[in-house]
A and B are shown apart, each in its own frame.
Chain A
């Protein structure tokens, strides 16, 4: 059974701090890794994708992938109250396009 694990939280950080969100997965053959953000009552929106080991930066967001340790993380620098949402980790471990989803981590950024 392919699984994606996330700490449900809530993770609470003060405004301006770095928020660190983590995701572990079970299938070593996983190739594609995604972070989505979902505000309450809204649909998931793509933040970042990462395919290779190392870091990928996009504005205040940095995704980090370590395939040997089977984890992918998302760092949010200078956290803002508007970053308060649930962050979903999704992974493609197979030959088709189906993604395996974590249950999400709830982030609260306090002013």
Chain B
């Protein structure tokens, strides 16, 4: 079975552009989590989504960031008008419908803002 897939693996944007990060969870998983990790820092929770619903977005910056997980297709983390401080690794994790809080991580997207 394929694990969590993220694309692109590396993304370069200039200040003011938009960044779209995609996450396809493990087949059959309906819960998705997004994390951000700055160089040499810990994982920071951003948002937890279930199909078509945002469950917890307490870690999302109030402006410029949004996330969705539609009924069909991957989860999308969208960053509008990127700034240099958005440069980080963004990880997606998923967990299955049957109750378990174990999360399985994708390889991450490395965003660089020039």
Contacts and interface: CB of A to CB of B under 8 A. Distances in A.
Interface of A: 32, 34, 36, 42-46, 49, 88, 90, 92, 96-104
Contacts of B45: 98-101
21 contacts: A34-B102, A36-B105, A42-B107, A43-B91, A43-B105, A43-B108, A44-B105, A45-B105, A49-B102, A92-B101, A97-B31, A97-B48, A97-B95, A97-B101, A97-B103, A98-B33, A98-B45, A98-B48, A99-B45, A101-B43, A103-B41
Interface in B20-55: 31, 33, 41-43, 45, 48, 55
Contact of A101 (B42, B55, B104): B42
Given A44-B43, A99-B45, 16 more contacts: A34-B103, A36-B105, A42-B107, A43-B91, A46-B102, A46-B103, A46-B104, A49-B102, A88-B42, A96-B48, A97-B31, A98-B56, A101-B42, A101-B43, A101-B45, A104-B42
A44 to B, nearest CB: 5
Minimum-distance CB pairs A-B, first 4: A103-B42, A43-B105, A97-B101, A92-B101
A24 B58 CA distance: 23
Interface in B65-114: 91, 95, 101-108
Contact of B103 (A96, A99, A104): A99
Interface residues of B, number: 19
Contact of A88 (B43, B101, B102, B106): B43
Contact of A102 (B42, B55, B91): B42
A107 to B, nearest CB: 15
Most buried by B among A90, A98, A100, A103: A98
B107 A43 contact: yes
Contact of B91 (A44, A46, A97, A104): A44
B96 to A, nearest CB: 10
A43 B31 contact: no
Contacts of B42: 88, 101-104
Nearest to B58: A98
